[in-house]
Amino acid sequence: MQPISLAEIARASGLSQYHLHRIFTSIFGHSLKGYVRKRRLTEAAAMLRDTDRGILDIALQCQFESQASFTRAFRDLFGVPPGRYRTVQRPWYSGLPPATLDALEHLRYGVTHTPELRTLDAPILVRGRGVPVPLDADAQIVELWERMRDAAGDRDPVVYGVGLPSHPQVALGPDEPFVYLAGAADGSLDGPHACVIGAGRYAVFQHRGPVQQMLATVDYAWGTWLRKSGHTKSARPDFERFQLSALTPHWLTAEIWLSIE
């Protein structure tokens, strides 16, 4: 990765640095400098997951001056230091995806930028089916929900999608570092697996848009709102909740529950 400056990007865009900064921030929700930094950290996270390269080597390639500065920035974005991120206990957050027109449109109109803070008074037992998936697992998760919807028949329960670092009955593969469990809490969806959603505080975001843009909603919750909110990420799993009939091939209205302390 090569160094890149705001002045270079401004010259290429034909805008002044001031106007480029204002336009980019208003549309994407990140400053240009913050976006580049988060993209470098996202590439670093991929190298941590997929290679055995040393942390200092990765830090220098991603244009950080030292391992210490890289570790601080990485922890701020992902909630854990780089070494721990390499373990199976890392959270389900793969970083900032590349900017696309669809993602920009979704961030402007498909996400509630100020979540509702709610308290879950009692744990919820979710039963269904869990599968091992990669971090950017849109296709696998959509396929799982389509199978669960077919199995539900005429029933239309409120359903939960839970991202877990592991599950005792689901084996993880080398490129599948977490488990996604799709199920319901009322026994309406049969399946061999179960998990407990812990009681506590949550920031609840509304996602309205294509299923494929769900990661953009998660990125906003983790990478933008959480960092500015003053809240701390809880170790409790995050989850999605929606009416099963709301899931269509091209659109989903769902709640994203981000666990906080």
Tens-digit pLDDT profile for residues 180-219: 999 999 888 888 999 999 999 999 998 887 776 777 777 7
- Give mean pLDDT, residues 166-183: 86
* Residue 86 scores a pLDDT above 50: yes
Average pLDDT of the chain?
Answer: 81
Confirm if 74 and 67 have CB atoms less than 8 A apart: no
pLDDT tops 70 at residue 256: yes
In the numeric block, the tokens 């009322």 are attached to 186
Q: Averaged over 144-170, what is the pLDDT?
A: 89
Could you report the per-residue pLDDT of 109-124, keeping only the tens digit for each?
A: 455 568 999 999 999 9
Compute the distance between CA of residue 34 and CA of residue 79 in angstroms, rounded to an integer. Answer: 17
Count of other CB atoms within 10 angstroms of residue 28: 18
Q: Model pTM greater than 0.75? A: no
Q: Which CATH architecture has domain 6-87?
A: Orthogonal Bundle (1.10)
Domain map (residue ranges) of the chain? 6-87, 116-260
CA distances from 143 to 109, 211, 224, 234 (A): 26, 11, 29, 29
Give me the pLDDT at residue 229, please: 84
Tell me: domain 116-260, CATH 3.20.80.10, correct? yes
pLDDT value at position 79?
Answer: 77
